[in-house]
Every structure is written in structure tokens, then in C-alpha cells.
């Protein structure tokens, strides 16, 4: 009997040429985006995930997307994650770390248009992290690329908990918060996949 192929929903993943983390290699990768120009598998506003079939995915991957919604709408997005996930599934969320940004700005005495770091897409300024990558917004003419809220490790963990993920593991590095949210205690497969501690 062949092993069941696991499914991950990439929310706000853009075009399917955008790679996903190596942990999802061999999984069925379903890309969801609001912009049909990206040619995703599913064209859908992430605030409306409850329109999709429930309990279908083993994981939801959401990188640099949750901050593009007002906080009250981010709640709808996370509730949608709960809806589409299997009982033993998990949400994998990455977002800019506003707490670390504030620390660096104060420590280095930066102004809002000072450069924080170079990226493949161009130079990233303080303003870009807070409000969205200005060059991309201007180039695309798409206001949905703007940032409408921000998170720290603590605030993202608390919001995940509030939205139906009582088990949250989170960390921060490279000015980014990474959080894993579970509806139930992570099982053996998730622990091995994500290299989680035994307890």
C-alpha cells in the first residue's frame, strides 16, 4: 500500500515558481493567491478560506502574507487556516518581526527611509518593513501588497492561540518571526518533520 501524499496549502504564495521550504518536498503543493496574474492553483482572498473544503490539508504555509491584512482581517485568515487543516495539521507562518525592527532602528539611530539590508528584490528600508515593499507596490499598482498590521513573536503567538491553535512554537531570527500553530498537540510526524523537542 502506497504512503499517502501529504498536502500543503501555500497561502499568498504568489506564482508557483516561488519555491517552498525543503520540508514540503514531495508534498502536493497547492498555491492560493488573490491575484489571478500569479496563476495560482486557487484564486481566493485568504479572508475567505472557509469557502474551501474543510479538513483537507496537512499544513498551511503562509510566508510574508499575514501582515498584508488589518489585524481584524488577519483573525479571519487564521480562522480559515483552522478550517482547511486536518485535526493533526499545522500552520507555518512567517512575518516581519516588528519588535526586532524597532530595536534595530533605535540601536542604529535609523530614519524611516534608511536601508536595513539588501535583498534579491532590492534594498529594503525601514519603511518597506513597516508599510510594505514600496518598489513592488509602485511597480505592480497593487495596493494589496501594502502592510496593514505587524507582529512580534509574542503577538503572533497570542493571535494564533486566540484563533484556534492552542499549541504554538515560535522563534525570531533575521528580523522575521516564524511560528508553528497546532490545533492539537503535535504528533510524531510533525515533531520529526519540524525537528521539535520531544515534549
Domain ranges of the chain: 7-99+146-194
Residues of the chain with pLDDT under 50: 1
User: Which residues make Cβ contacts (< 8 Å) with residue 80, sequence separation at least 6?
Assistant: 46, 47, 48, 49, 50, 52
Q: What is the pLDDT of residue 199?
A: 61
Q: What is the pLDDT of residue 1?
A: 41
Residue 199's CB is within 10 A of a number of other CB atoms, namely: 5
**153, 186, 189 from 199: Cα distances, Å:** 20, 9, 14
How far is residue 107's CA from residue 10's CA, in Å, rounded to a whole number?
Answer: 35
Q: Do residues 91 and 81 lie in contact, with contact meaning Cβ atoms separated by under 8 Å?
A: yes
As beta bridge partners, residue 9 has 30, 60
With CA atoms as reference, report the closest residue to 7 among 75, 53, 50, 73: 53
Q: What is the pLDDT of residue 137?
A: 87
- CATH pick for 7-99+146-194 out of 2.60.40.640, 3.40.50.1370, 1.10.3720.10, 3.40.50.150: 3.40.50.150
Amino acid at each position: 500500500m502506497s504512503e499517502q501524499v501529504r498536502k500543503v496549502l501555500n497561502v499568498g504564495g504568489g506564482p508557483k515558481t516561488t519555491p517552498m521550504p525543503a520540508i514540503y518536498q514531495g508534498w502536493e503543493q497547492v498555491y492560493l493567491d488573490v491575484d489571478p496574474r500569479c496563476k495560482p492553483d486557487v484564486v481566493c482572498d485568504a479572508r475567505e478560506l472557509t469557502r474551501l473544503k474543510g479538513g483537507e490539508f496537512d499544513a498551511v504555509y503562509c510566508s510574508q502574507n499575514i501582515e498584508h491584512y488589518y489585524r481584524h482581517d488577519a483573525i479571519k485568515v487564521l480562522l480559515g487556516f483552522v478550517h482547511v487543516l486536518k485535526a493533526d495539521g499545522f500552520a507555518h507562518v512567517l512575518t516581519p518581526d516588528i519588535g526586532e525592527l524597532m530595536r534595530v532602528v533605535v540601536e542604529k539611530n535609523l530614519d524611516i527611509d534608511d536601508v536595513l539590508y539588501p535583498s534579491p528584490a532590492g534594498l529594503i528600508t525601514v519603511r518597506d518593513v513597516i508599510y510594505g515593499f514600496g518598489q513592488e507596490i509602485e511597480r505592480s499598482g497593487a495596493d494589496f501588497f501594502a502592510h496593514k498590521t505587524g507582529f512580534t513573536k509574542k503577538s503572533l503567538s497570542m493571535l494564533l492561540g486566540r484563533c484556534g491553535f492552542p499549541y504554538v512554537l515560535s522563534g525570531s531570527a533575521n528580523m522575521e518571526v516564524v511560528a508553528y500553530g497546532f490545533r492539537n498537540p503535535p504528533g510524531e510526524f510533525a515533531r520529526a518533520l519540524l525537528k521539535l523537542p520531544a515534549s
